[in-house]
Structure 1
Amino acid sequence: MTENTYDIAVVGAGAVGLSAALAFARDGYETVLIGGLDVRRDGRTVALLNGSVRFLEALGVWPAVASVASPLEIMRIIDDTGSLFRPPPASFRAGEIGLDAFGWNIENVALVETLAEAAGHAEHLTLVPEFATGFTTDEQGAALTLAGGTTIRAGLVVAADGRNSKLRQIAGIDAKTWSYPQSAVTVILAHDREHRDTSTEFHTRHGPFTLVPLPGRRSSLVWVTSKEEAERLSSLDDAALALAIERQAQSHLGAMRIDGPRGLVPMSGLSVNRYWSRHLALVGEAAHVFPPIGAQGLNLGFRDVASLRDAVVDGHDAGHSAGSDETLTGYQRSRDLDVRLRTAAVDGLNRTLLTGMIPTDFLRGAGLLALSNIGPLRRIVMREGVLPRVGVPRLMQG
């Protein structure tokens, strides 16, 4: 049996856990990252919004990320619900709010690989590719037991171990879960026409059908539909699936072909009332899970990390330890409202698409029409989506 001591231990080596380890090591905290990399390709991508770009710039990894990502300069929404109150297509341009792009789209696995490469060379950071099997706390801090028998002690443990977080369960933090009668088909596509750095989202009666640019004449697709239809689509061969996608996209990008892995993602959500316990902080999907709508999930996970880093630094300046109740209460305050608002927005959008009620269709159509035609309102909504003014962590302020 061996025992090693660190300032901070991060459990979970996904994009959120890797970024947390890099952020704390950057500030000089002796940090250990526990967990093995998940580099399975499942056709999923993430649109990194402006705050996440600034965060990755602060971590020193943005140039490497940008080299394999594609900018999102225009966001286009098309109502394809068949509603009586269907508004015309709406386009939103990043230049209206002074940005070159709303965000950058990158394959999840490419992002993880880039962050892992940086972590392998970071000072003050130790990588331990094992699984944590036990977690206890005392007055001095926390102790993690690893599968190989080693004990890791730390003043603060950061749980970035996903929606089924073992650390959250051991700490007794309750999680509320829910599901939708939908699944999402994810896939990487090649197509004949240029996407012109435009993300196009078709609002259908079964959920959003979203094409997001990748480098070259390639795009990622998230097709949210009924569970039965998603399973049927997933069972198609590549040629038949590409044709179904082209038809659903109204040949918007011309002929298509499957150009990468595909996935099938159940639509579900998770939330917690407490983001912390004694010497433990939850980040990413350990704290909140979103369906793949609106590019909120990983961007919120990065905001968790940047907010926790601020709380730890501010707590240190006030004489509190990284895992103290005072420090972690500050972290809770910084995240609670932000996550609740984003959860409500994503849930509300999805449910309005599923209902066939005329009043709901009217309100949704009227809202999109207002955003299209009222410039100041459109710019306010765009800024809040990618550049929120209140409570932005320091590493995301540029």
Structure 2
Amino acid sequence: MVTADGATWPGSHVVGADGVRSTVRKRTGASLEGSAAEGFHVGVDVADEPGGTPSLERVMHYAHPGADGRGVLVVPYANGFQVDVQSRAGDDPDVIASRREVRRWLPALIGPTPSERITAISVYRFLQLIADDFTDPHRRVLLVGEAAHLFPPFGARGMNSGFADARAAADAIATGRRSPAANADAVAAFATARRAAAEVNSAAAGAALRHLRPTGAVARLRRRTAGLLAPVVPRFGEWLEHAPYGPRTVMSGTGN
């Protein structure tokens, strides 16, 4: 393999783990196929208050009154948390995600927040994309992680399936190096299995997305009814808690 700076790297295989804009994938001729969800999300990273007690609770608001009924997800992480706000029809990302506008609406969601605690603001859209092939015609290139697929961030499906991709790629390469005659079949089996796993994950993420952004009256009524009944029927609350992450399916033999 020859890189842009002219350096040469000899080897038996190349693992493309260079993300959604993967140069390795493009050089194999593979392309991403799929769709983008309507609307966008605004993610605001907030540092923990100095000397305060960090919250370890993840909270999902399906219709936060402080956000004019928009969906809001608060997710803690090391030394801070992220506030994720779901857009609705008519929202302009250049307006709602501007630092001035974020400073205006953020306190209604999490309380008074000094500007210096806002460490990052991002806008993203949910994509469901899968490469049409996870290898090259010569069975020497193996695509893993976001070079091979991109899912909405529900249940860390992209990251977790990336680990499984890498393990499967390593196994296929080991087989090919032990027995060159078996390489083509081993790499082809990797590509077939991991693409099938990506399709399972994409379908699960799609189910979660339809729950978060219901387009039909029946789906909206189901979610609203569950919210009304959750205080007295715990299983409805459990459904509302878990549904945003999609079905917990595992495809036998793929590791998902």
Output the TM-score relative to the length of structure 1.
Answer: 0.50
Mapped partners of 1:363, 1:322: distance in 2? 55
Q: Is the 8 A contact 2:46 2:120 kept in 1?
A: no
| 1:198 alignment partner in structure 2 | 57
Q: Which amino acid aligns with 2:57?
A: T
Q: Which amino acid aligns with 1:261?
A: A
| 2:200 alignment partner in structure 1 | 341
Mapped partners of 1:329, 1:165: distance in 2? 20
5+ residue gaps, structure 1: 1-143
Q: How does 1:151-300 map to 2 (within 5 A)?
A: 151-190=8-47, 196-204=55-63, 208-216=71-79, 218-226=80-88, 228-237=91-100, 240-247=101-108, 249=109, 251=110, 254-257=111-114, 258-277=117-136, 278=138, 279-300=140-161
Instruction: State, as a whole percentage, how many aligned pairs show the same letter.
Output: 21
Aligned length: 239
Q: Which amino acid aligns with 1:233?
A: I
Instruction: Specify which of 327, 352, 359 is matched with residue 186 of structure 2.
Output: 327
Mapped partners of 2:85, 2:187: distance in 1? 38
Mapped partners of 1:294, 1:325: distance in 2? 33
Q: Which amino acid aligns with 2:17?
A: A
Mapped partners of 1:304, 1:184: distance in 2? 28
Q: Which contiguous aligned blocks of 4+ residues in structure 1 show a shift greater than 6 angstroms?
A: 366-371, 374-378
1:196-248 CA-to-partner distances (Å, cap 9, x unmatched) read 421112235997522111235x31223232483432122132xx52451342x
Q: Which amino acid aligns with 2:235?
A: N
5+ residue gaps, structure 2: none
Q: Is the 8 A contact 2:13 2:173 kept in 1?
A: no
Mapped partners of 1:182, 1:231: distance in 2? 13
SS of match in other structure, 2:126: strand
Mapped partners of 1:326, 1:367: distance in 2? 49
Mapped partners of 1:191, 1:343: distance in 2? 33
Q: How does 1:31-50 map to 2 (within 5 A)?
A: none
Distance 1:322 1:202, change over 3 A: farther
| 1:44 alignment partner in structure 2 | none
1:292-332 CA-to-partner distances (Å, cap 9, x unmatched) read 3443222222221122223334x259x43499222212312
Q: Which amino acid aligns with 1:179?
A: A
| 1:391 alignment partner in structure 2 | 253
Q: Is the 8 A contact 1:184 1:292 kept in 2?
A: no
1:343 offset after TM fit, Å?
A: 0.8
| 1:373 alignment partner in structure 2 | 235
1:357 offset after TM fit, Å?
A: 2.1
Distance 1:389 1:274, change over 3 A: closer
Q: Is the 8 A contact 1:160 1:285 kept in 2?
A: yes
Mapped partners of 1:322, 1:270: distance in 2? 32
| Higher strand content, 1 or 2 | 1
Distance 1:154 1:207, change over 3 A: farther
| Higher helix content, 1 or 2 | 2
Residue 310 (structure 1) aligned with residue 167 (structure 2): no
Q: Is the 8 A contact 1:210 1:221 kept in 2?
A: yes
Distance 1:389 1:176, change over 3 A: closer
Mapped partners of 1:282, 1:191: distance in 2? 37
Q: Which amino acid aligns with 1:210?
A: L
| 1:33 alignment partner in structure 2 | none
Mapped partners of 1:367, 1:275: distance in 2? 40
Q: Is the 8 A contact 2:200 2:251 kept in 1?
A: no
1:280 offset after TM fit, Å?
A: 0.6
Distance 1:290 1:389, change over 3 A: closer
1:226-283 CA-to-partner distances (Å, cap 9, x unmatched) read 483432122132xx52451342x3x5xx433443122222333321232112201111
